[in-house]
Amino acid sequence: MDERTTGRAAGTEAPSVRLLLADDHPVVRAGLRAVLETEPGFRVVAEASSAEEAVRLAGELAPDVVLMDLQFGERMLGSEATERIASVPGGPRVLILTTYDTDTDILNAIEAGATGYLLKDAPPEELAAAVRSAAAGRTALAPAVASRLVGRMRQREAALSRRETEVLSLVAEGLSNQQISKQLFLSQATVKSHLAHIYTKLGVDSRTSAVAAATSQGIIRR
Amino acid sequence: MDERTTGRAAGTEAPSVRLLLADDHPVVRAGLRAVLETEPGFRVVAEASSAEEAVRLAGELAPDVVLMDLQFGERMLGSEATERIASVPGGPRVLILTTYDTDTDILNAIEAGATGYLLKDAPPEELAAAVRSAAAGRTALAPAVASRLVGRMRQREAALSRRETEVLSLVAEGLSNQQISKQLFLSQATVKSHLAHIYTKLGVDSRTSAVAAATSQGIIRR
DNA sequence: CGGCGCATCGATCGAAAGGTGTAACGGCGC
DNA sequence: GCGCCGTTACACCTTTCGATCGATGCGCCG
């Protein structure tokens, strides 16, 4: 709530946390820079506007923490960049900073090795605290994210197989069983079979409600 | 790329454009502030974190331009706030600044009286230029937005009626014709009738593809 | 005032989708 | 090796959906 100085004295040797900002929105990068550089103990060493650039700069500059967006323009390589950066043993911690909070996004990011997951509507103090936690190696989750995680763990049924997800995606695009069977070189019976399994797993009983459920849970995008 | 001074001399009488930033993300507000205040001729007089606050501050402070987000937390009152601010005769110009660029969003915003429509991934120069245009009363559209608009005008068929949109939304949530009829106190015949019209207008032939088409065109959300 | 679009309801009929049961095959773990 | 799971596939039956005819009342506009 109230502002208070950290326990450590400031004048020792300035152990600033070195940051890399990765986001495709210039405005967001400027905002993060503004918010974080006013806080003591942070130094933004570089900005990346694409996932590829983030991976490259993370390797070259070896920052302490990478603040990473999950949505980069059209392609969603944010999670992949996270994985590549986080896989380096002594490498930077990766803090995900995104607008959305779908279950699968969160899970994927954590599986990719992210140290924390923040939402962009987080207040500056929360942001700064999370970065400090990440720099120290501690996990940092936004409250909204944390509650989603436990809810997700409680009913981990909704794990569709790769094929099922593929079928459901085509359903979401509006294709009929007929069209899906042709596109995937299957019989309609198989498509129906997949759909029946999907319905059971999602607890629904129609293609449209399956799409609705999967979309709200972030299993399929768009 | 390179920094350069503006053509106008700075010392005349400082006719700064007075700005109100309305966005629910603190980081974005800070970013806008950082980007715009480094440019000469802009002054941020206030920030609003909700649509209601934006309307109130716009009335009290009478800024020249309001930079307005369309998505405020859960409810989408951004367009409503735009309408209320823009309806005042001598009032501020409203510049929409959002992440999404769906057709109906753009159309609604412009109908609500917005002077311009920008995307958050716009580079700082484009942003500053748009604000200057808006302050001068000129319309400012992001290139991506402009091209969408003309494409939209070309095939303006897809205008669903209010009732049709309502039905389609329920379809998108996964309800059956039966359930929709009960929820809207209609007969299934009427629901079917609405759907048939919807299919004709959207050029599709199934509920799922109607949802897909409407979603991609931004007619329905989520 | 006579259309026109919108919203409401009805009936019919064929096609599509969903429910249930059954089964084969390959991979993976205990 | 045996069982579980994912993927593929088929048959039969019921329900739902979509397409195509209708029809009525209402408000708006030229």
Q: What is the pLDDT of residues B89-141, one digit of tens each?
A: 788 999 988 877 676 777 777 777 888 888 888 888 888 988 998 888 888 88
Nearest CB to B25; choose among A30, A121, A176:
A121
Alpha carbons B131 and B65: distance in angstroms, whole number? 7
CATH, residue B180: 1.10.10.10
Other Cβ atoms within 10 Å of B220 Cβ, number? 21
Rounded CA–C1' distance between B38 and D4, in angstroms = 63
* Max avg pLDDT among A49-53, A101-105, B59-63: B59-63
Check whether residue A92 and residue A21 sit in a common domain. Answer: yes
Q: Provide mean pLDDT across the span A49-73.
A: 88
Helix (H) or strand (E) holding A111: helix A103-111
Interchain proximity B204–A174, CB inside 8 Å: yes
Q: Domain of residue A60: give its range.
A: 17-153
Alpha carbons A175 and A74: distance in angstroms, whole number? 23
pLDDT at A90: 81
Quote the percentage of chain B above a pLDDT of 90: 34
B13 band by pLDDT with thresholds 50, 70 and 90? low
pLDDT at B74: 60
Mean pLDDT across chain A = 82
Interchain proximity B34–A31, CB inside 8 Å: yes
Residue B125 belongs to a domain: yes
Check whether residue A136 and residue A172 sit in a common domain. Answer: no
Query: What is the dihedral sign for C-alpha B127, B133, B136, B139?
Result: negative
pLDDT of residue B153 exceeding 90:
no
Residue A194 belongs to a domain: yes
Q: Write the pLDDT tens digit of every residue in A170-183.
A: 999 999 999 999 98
Check whether residue B146 and residue B206 sit in a common domain. Answer: no
Check whether residue B101 and residue B148 sit in a common domain. Answer: yes
Quote the percentage of chain A above a pLDDT of 70: 84
Instruction: Using the C1' atom of nucleotide D7, identify the protein residue whose alpha carbon is closest.
Output: A163
Number of domains in chain A: 2
Nearest CB to B27; choose among A26, A31, A209:
A31
Using the 3D structure, point to which of A153, A182, A206 is the last residue of a domain: A153
Amino acid at B117: Y
* Positions of strand C less than 7 angstroms from a protein CB: 5-11, 16-23
For chains A and B, what is the number of CB pairs under 8 angstroms?
Answer: 108
Check whether residue A193 and residue A129 sit in a common domain. Answer: no
Q: Provide mean pLDDT across the span A114-141.
A: 87
Alpha carbons B80 and B76: distance in angstroms, whole number? 8
* Max avg pLDDT among A35-39, A81-85, A115-119, B45-49: B45-49
Nucleotide nearest to B196 (CA to C1'): D18
Q: Provide mean pLDDT across the span A58-66.
A: 93
Check whether residue A52 and residue A139 sit in a common domain. Answer: yes
Rounded CA–C1' distance between B195 and D18, in angstroms = 9
Residue B9 belongs to a domain: no
Check whether residue A113 and residue A189 sit in a common domain. Answer: no
Instruction: Write out the DSSP string of chain B.
Output: ------SS-SSS---PEEEEEE-S-HHHHHHHHHHHHHSTTEEEEEEESSHHHHHHHHHHH--SEEEE-S--SSS--HHHHHHHHHTSTT--EEEEEES---HHHHHHHHHTT-SEEEETT--HHHHHHHHHHHHTT--EE-HHHHHHHHHHHHTTT----HHHHHHHHHHHTT--HHHHHHHTT--HHHHHHHHHHHHHHHT-SSHHHHHHHHHHTTSS--
